[in-house]
Amino acid sequence: MKRNPPRLVFWETTSRCNLQCVHCRRTNVPERGDELYELPTDEFKAILLSLKGEGRPPMVVFSGGEPLMRKDLPELLAFAKEKGIPFAIATNGALVDEAMTKMLASYGPHRISVSLDGAIASTHDEFRGQKGSFDKAVNALKLFRAAGISTQINCSVSTRNVAERDAVVKLARELGVDALHFFLLVPVGCGAELPDAMRLGAENYEEFLNWLMVQQGAAGHPAHGHGHAHPAPGGMEIRATCAPHQTRIVRQKVAASSPEFAGRTAQMRGCLAGSAIAFISHKGEVFPCGYLPVPAGDLRKQNFWEVWENSEVFKTITDPDALKGKCGVCEYRVICAGCRARAFGTTGDYMGQEPYCLYEPKAKAKK
């Protein structure tokens, strides 16, 4: 039986980056001594074309590193447009000016996301390792919106900026973005080197997700939980990423007869790694997601769909019966599954238990 194709394929189009973010999922960005590497244009195009498969192709998100540093990006975007492959772009905004905006808009991106890790410059700039990066990110969002491009803010949450969450929502509304996605930190790459004091604990995660659902309600979401939150027409989509236990929280609220959450039980899914999303590295390796450094295949040697259908990593990560620890006995394991990347980052086992979940299952985990 063939697996459902992924909805999103995130592609690290280059390893080069112009910032040094303290929470980056990578440890070896070029400024830290890594060789500069990206797939040659012809190889990139061949893999991109192969993603079309036999049906509707997945949305390809050109990310990095910093994708705007790739010199042949216009050629790659033109190729995607010509072949009917939908795409989005994830950037830090630092290289965006009017000319760059005009070029990107000409290829019809589905959306462009810009990272904004705080509501004020000092917070964001500290995260990003470069003074002035906040102003550049805000300017990029304004330029994209003026050009008619759908925009999104990606905000990574830690103890350093969680107090600014309401201000971030307010700023996002003022900028007129279409979506605001809060990313809950995963302890891999540079994120693994962050002090514990910067990471939200299980109780803080729970509180944050409850706060987020209130914001979703205020935005008019008839939300469907993690990965499926849609605002009322004309509203701003607000969502948590890498927060599969939100599905469990919603189910608990419904069970407790909270009518305002009743519409959120449909199509709820937890961790999407390897089931609805995949990640391609700057070297052409395939991973379940960008935060889980467990390779599933190599596109310089294999076809993407061969990897997607046959990889043991993908088969295992999507099997709720393979979960371990309290995730393995949890009554919510099918709809939640915990964050597999966080499990790997803390236990070394991507099927281990989610470390930042407050819930204790009714059944006891096997020793």
pLDDT, position 71: 94
pLDDT, position 266: 47
pLDDT, position 26: 53
Q: Say if 342 falls within a structural domain.
A: no
User: Average pLDDT of 123-147?
Assistant: 93
Q: pLDDT-derived band of residue 129, with 50, 70 and 90 as boundaries?
A: confident
How many secondary structure helices (H) and strands (E) does the chain include? 12, 10
pLDDT, position 199: 76
pLDDT at 133 over 70: yes
Q: Say if 140 falls within a structural domain.
A: yes
Q: Say if 282 falls within a structural domain.
A: yes
pLDDT, position 346: 87
Q: Say if 165 falls within a structural domain.
A: yes
Q: Return all residues near 355 (Cβ < 8 A) that are at least 6 apart.
A: 202, 342, 343, 346, 347
- Give the residue with greater pLDDT, 303 vs 224: 303
pLDDT, position 234: 61
pLDDT at 20 over 60: yes
153-197: per-residue pLDDT in tens? 999 998 889 999 999 999 999 999 999 999 988 866 444 555 566
Sheet holding 237-241, edge to edge: 237-241, 179-184, 151-157, 112-115, 87-91, 59-63, 8-12, 277-280, 285-287, 297-298
pLDDT, position 30: 47
Quote the CA–CA distance of 106 and 10 in Å, as a whole number: 21
- Residue 273 DSSP class: B
User: Average pLDDT of 15-33?
Assistant: 60
**Percent of the chain's residues with pLDDT above 70:** 83
pLDDT, position 264: 54
**Percent of the chain's residues with pLDDT above 90:** 65
Quote the CA–CA distance of 308 and 317 in Å, as a whole number: 12
Q: Say if 334 falls within a structural domain.
A: no
Quote the CA–CA distance of 297 and 310 in Å, as a whole number: 10
Q: What is the mean pLDDT of the chain?
A: 87
Q: Say if 364 falls within a structural domain.
A: no
259 CB burial (10 A radius; 0-12, 13-18, 19+): exposed
Q: Return all residues near 35 (Cβ < 8 A) that are at least 6 apart.
A: none
pLDDT, position 33: 46
pLDDT at 265 over 60: no
pLDDT, position 188: 62
The runs of H, that is alpha helices, within 231-270 are: 246-255
91-121: per-residue pLDDT in tens? 999 999 999 999 999 999 999 999 999 999 9
**For the chain, what is the domain count?**
1
pLDDT at 252 over 60: yes
Q: Say if 82 falls within a structural domain.
A: yes
pLDDT, position 190: 42
Residue range(s) defining the domain that contains residue 175: 8-200+271-318
Q: Say if 116 falls within a structural domain.
A: yes
* Domain CATH code at residue 73: 3.20.20.70
The runs of H, that is alpha helices, within the chain are: 41-50, 73-82, 98-106, 121-128, 133-146, 165-175, 202-218, 246-255, 304-310, 312-317, 325-329, 340-347
Q: Which residue reads 């391609």 in tokens?
A: 280
Phi-psi region for residue 64, left (φ > 0), alpha (ψ -120 to 50) or beta? Answer: beta
Phi, psi angle pair for 89, to nearest 5°: -135, 135
Q: Do residues 16 and 65 touch, judged by C-beta distance below 8 A?
A: yes
Nearest to 184 by CA among 32, 316, 339: 339
